[in-house]
Amino acid sequence: MSLFDHTIKELEAMLHNKEITVQDLVEESYQRIEEVDGQVHAFLTLDKENALAKAKVLDEHPDATAKLFGIPSGIKDNIMTKGLRTTCASQFLDNFNDPLYDATVVEKLNNEQTIAVGKLNMDEFAMGSSNENSSYDATRNPWNTDYVPGGSSGGSAAAVAAGEVLFSLGSDTGGSIRQPAAFCGVVGMKPTYGRVSRFGLVAFASSLDQVGPITRTVEDNARVLEVIAGADKMDSTSVDLDVPAYTEALTGDVKGLKIAVPKEYLAEGVAPEVRESVLEALKVYESLGATWEEVSIPHSKYAVAAYYLISSSEASANLARFDGVRYGVRSENADNMIDMFKKSRSEGFGPEVKRRIMLGTFALSSGYYDAYYKKAQQVRTLIKNDFDKIFEEYDVIIGPTSPTTAFKVGEKIDDPLTMYADDILTVPVNLAGVPGISIPCGFSPEGLPIGLQIIGKHFDESTVYRTAHAFEQATDYHTKRPQLGGAN
């Protein structure tokens, strides 16, 4: 039996029927990690002893009501896990071995008897689009290890694509779930802002960050979001709305669905194979009874600039707490307190984090606040209004997740502006606060996955999932597997 062969729903049935044990699943997960993670580098920390001990307990006391009973999972390393090292892939938190509490999403998973096998690699403090900004090791794309897996949740996407876990949690500030999901050929959901608690997520940009699931199938993704979504008294930005049974929305029926396709999302800069795959996907929807029309998101051309000003400004404020005093690594070369602050931050943060802190501090500084940060927030409102106007007439917006497929390791790391520009199709979703999912919709001539992005109305993840599931069931892209570490 391989983790690749079954969905979460199928595995749960096998567990309840005692065809397999939780220990079987967890041991297989670690065996797969041992086989392939030397190539992929998806994990930063493993928790094998505790995971196997928990599996044994679950086998002795099975809970038939748990929604994710016994399922091995991975957690992005910026999500707090009690007693389990949490580094944000930064040297600043290299010694943060014993966090005192679980993030709300981790607590919810634990309540449903999920087993976290370890913490997943990422761009440092979630700042990056390739996972090359990890201060430990660059995660590689399971489809071709010469290529990046995307970022910042690169480890989360690669671990699922490589068959190391059934699902993972990532965080998405400007595309950090959807873009690596696209690059790795898996399913990644960025829920509506406020749908999932951010308590215990190490903050990058508080008005943009959102936790979400990465899985192999749309149904698995919907099952995980049902568990982690919901209001939380520990997060004042979480919204007190009932969480729908997302899996019940997966009817396969999209007859009459009205799809908007922004012309800007298929314009110059989008690779021909990506554009062609999206147009072929739209033909699939037509065959299923949906209709589509071209629309415009006129302010999308300002989205990247607005996003990097807002996110960097919020990062500048959020990362001020990392000073070498309260927790984290303290410089041993300081002569006085001020020197200690400077040297701890200089030695602890990597170049991309420093770049964004400086940009954000500049944008918030006296004399520049109105010209940059305030103006970016005004543009954000215009972009949200663009989405609102489209959703008055259409059910979903569809386009590519990324303008290109994965690029080679080292290809763009020295050109941050080009890397930032690659986020042009994902950041508007975060600025508007709406939900978006990436699902596989094709492959490049080099055999690299292509992602289809489906965007929905605020708190209408059900329609997004229904739309994604219909396409998935009509195609076989989700059944393809990277040839990594032998037979999969």
Could you tell me which residues come within 8 angstroms of residue 381 by beta carbon, excluding any fewer than 6 positions away? none
Flag whether pLDDT at 327 surpasses 80.
Answer: no
Question: What would the DSSP string read from start to end of 334-386?
Answer: -SSHHHHHHHHHHHHS-HHHHHHHHHHHHHHSTTTTIIIIIHHHHHHHHHHHH
**Helix, strand, coil % in the chain, rounded to nearest 5:** 45, 15, 45
Flag whether pLDDT at 268 surpasses 90.
Answer: no
Flag whether pLDDT at 487 surpasses 50.
Answer: no
Flag whether pLDDT at 347 surpasses 70.
Answer: yes
Give pLDDT, residue 416. 80
Instruction: For residues 7-19, give the mean pLDDT.
Output: 92
Active-site residue set? 76, 152, 176
Q: What is the mean pLDDT of the chain?
A: 95
Give pLDDT, residue 413. 81
- Beta strand residue intervals within 202-281, DSSP E: 211-215, 258-262
In the chain the domains, ranked by start, together with CATH numbers, are 3-255+461-479 (3.90.1300.10)
pLDDT 10s digits, 437-453 = 999 999 999 999 999 99
Could you tell me which residues come within 8 angstroms of residue 446 by beta carbon, excluding any fewer than 6 positions away? 144, 405
Flag whether pLDDT at 382 surpasses 80.
Answer: yes
Give pLDDT, residue 488. 40
pTM (predicted TM-score): 0.96
What is the rounded distance in angstroms from the CA atom of residue 202 to the CA atom of residue 75? 13
Could you tell me which residues come within 8 angstroms of residue 70 by beta carbon, excluding any fewer than 6 positions away? 11, 12, 15, 22, 25, 26, 55, 58, 113, 114, 115
Flag whether pLDDT at 323 surpasses 80.
Answer: yes
Q: Percentage of the chain surpassing pLDDT 70?
A: 99
Burial group, residue 2, by CB count within 10 angstroms (0-12, 13-18, 19+): exposed
pLDDT 10s digits, 465-486 = 999 999 999 999 999 999 885 4
Give pLDDT, residue 335. 86
Instruction: For residues 47-55, give the mean pLDDT.
Output: 97
pLDDT 10s digits, 227-267 = 999 999 999 999 999 999 999 999 999 999 999 999 999 98
Give pLDDT, residue 417. 72
Confidence of residue 100 (pLDDT cuts 50, 70, 90): very high
Give pLDDT, residue 293. 98
Instruction: For residues 38-44, give the mean pLDDT.
Output: 98
Q: For residue 424, which of 401, 407, 443, 442 has the smallest C-alpha distance?
A: 401
Give pLDDT, residue 1. 56
Instruction: For residues 144-167, give the mean pLDDT.
Output: 97
